[in-house]
Chains A and B, each alone.
Chain A
Amino acid sequence: MNAKPISGPHVVATRRVDQIMRLVIIALAPATAWGVLIFGWPAFYLLIVTVFSALAFEAICLKMKGVAATPFLRDGSAIVTGLLVAMTLPPWAPWWIGVVGSALAIMLGKHVYGGLGQNLFNPAMLARVALLISFPIEMTTWANVSPLFIGPGVFDSFAITFSGLDNADAVTGATTLGLVKTEFSQNHVLPGILKDYSSLLAFIGWERGSLGETSTLLILAGGIWLMRQGVIKWHIPVSLLLTIFVFAGIFHLWDSKHYLGPWVHLNSGAVMLVAFFIATDYVTSPNTPLGQVIFGAGCGLLIFVIRSWGGYPEGTGFAILLMNATTPLIDHYIRPRIYGRYRNGKPLDISNP
Chain B
Amino acid sequence: MLALFENPRLRGGIHAEEHKLETSIYNIDSDFPLPKKLYIPVQQHVGKPAEPVVKVGDKVLKGQLLAYSQGTISAPVHAPTSGIIADVKDFPAPHPSALPIRTVVIEADGLDQWGAIEIPSDPFQLSPEEICSRVGIAGVVGLGGAVFPSAVKLSLGRKNKIHTLLINAGECEPYLTCDDRLMQERAEQIVAGIRLMLRGMDAPKALVGIEDNKPEAFLAMQKASQHYPQIVVSQVPTRYPMGWDRQMLRYLTGQEIPADGRATDIGVVVHNVATAYAVYKAICLGEPLISRVVTVSGAAIRQPRNVEVPIGTLMSEVLAYCGVDKSKMARLVMGGPMMGDALPIAEVPVVKACNGVLALSHAEIEEPEVQPCIRCSSCVGVCPVGLLPLEMASRIRANQLDAAVDLGLKDCISCGSCSYVCPSNIPLVHYFKFASGELVKRQQAEHKSEQTKRLIDERNNRMERARLEAEAEALRAQEARAARAAALKAQQEEDA
Contacts and interface: CB of A to CB of B under 8 A. Distances in A.
B427 A5 contact: yes
A116 B372 contact: yes
A12 B373 CA distance: 16
Given A8-B416, A287-B377, A339 B390 contact: no
A16 B419 CA distance: 12
Interface string A71-83: 1000101000000
Given A6-B96, A339-B386, A340-B261, A117 B16 contact: no
| Dominant secondary structure at the A interface | loop
Interface in A1-40: 1-2, 4-13, 15-17, 19-20
Interface in B373-422: 373-377, 380-381, 383-388, 390-391, 407-408, 411, 414, 416, 419-422
A336 B390 CA distance: 13
A65 to B, nearest CB: 12
B331 A6 contact: yes
Contact of A287 (B11, B17, B250, B390): B390
A336 B387 contact: yes
B59 to A, nearest CB: 41
A19 B423 contact: yes
Interface in B327-379: 331, 333, 337-342, 358, 360, 364-365, 367-377
B380 A287 contact: yes
Interface residues of B, number: 68
B411 A341 contact: yes
Given A1-B370, A11-B365, A331 B258 contact: no
Contacts of B381: 233
B259 A9 contact: no
Contacts of A198: none
Given A13-B421, A17-B374, 11 more contacts: A4-B367, A7-B427, A7-B429, A8-B342, A9-B419, A10-B342, A11-B420, A288-B388, A336-B387, A340-B259, A348-B257
Of B6, B265, B372, B427, the most chain A CB neighbours within 10 A belong to B372
Interface of A: 1-2, 4-13, 15-17, 19-20, 71, 75, 77, 115-118, 233, 282-283, 287-290, 293, 331, 335-341, 343, 345, 347-350
A282 B375 contact: yes
B490 to A, nearest CB: 80
A347 B430 contact: no
Contacts of A349: 258
B169 to A, nearest CB: 21
Contact of A338 (B259, B331, B338): B259
A12 B371 CA distance: 14
Given A4-B367, A11-B174, A339 B388 contact: no
Nearest to B386: A336
A191 B258 CA distance: 60
Closest 9 CB pairs of A and B: A340-B259, A9-B416, A336-B386, A348-B258, A347-B260, A347-B259, A287-B377, A282-B376, A10-B337
Interface of B: 2, 5-6, 11, 14, 16-17, 96, 174, 246, 250, 256-261, 265-266, 331, 333, 337-342, 358, 360, 364-365, 367-377, 380-381, 383-388, 390-391, 407-408, 411, 414, 416, 419-425, 427, 429-430, 433
A124 B380 CA distance: 26
Contact of B338 (A9, A15, A77, A348): A9
A302 B376 CA distance: 24
Contact of B425 (A12, A290, A339): A12
A90 to B, nearest CB: 30
Contacts of A7: 96, 342, 427, 429-430, 433
A171 to B, nearest CB: 41
Q: Which of B360, B376, B433 has the most CB of A within 10 A?
A: B376
Given A15-B423, A287-B390, A338 B341 contact: no
B337 A290 contact: no
Nearest to A21: B374
A342 B358 CA distance: 39
B27 to A, nearest CB: 26
A118 B424 CA distance: 14
A10 B360 contact: yes
Contacts of A11: 16-17, 174, 337-338, 360, 364-365, 420
Nearest to B340: A8
Contact of B339 (A9, A339, A343): A9
A55 to B, nearest CB: 18
Given A7-B342, A331-B391, A339 B384 contact: yes
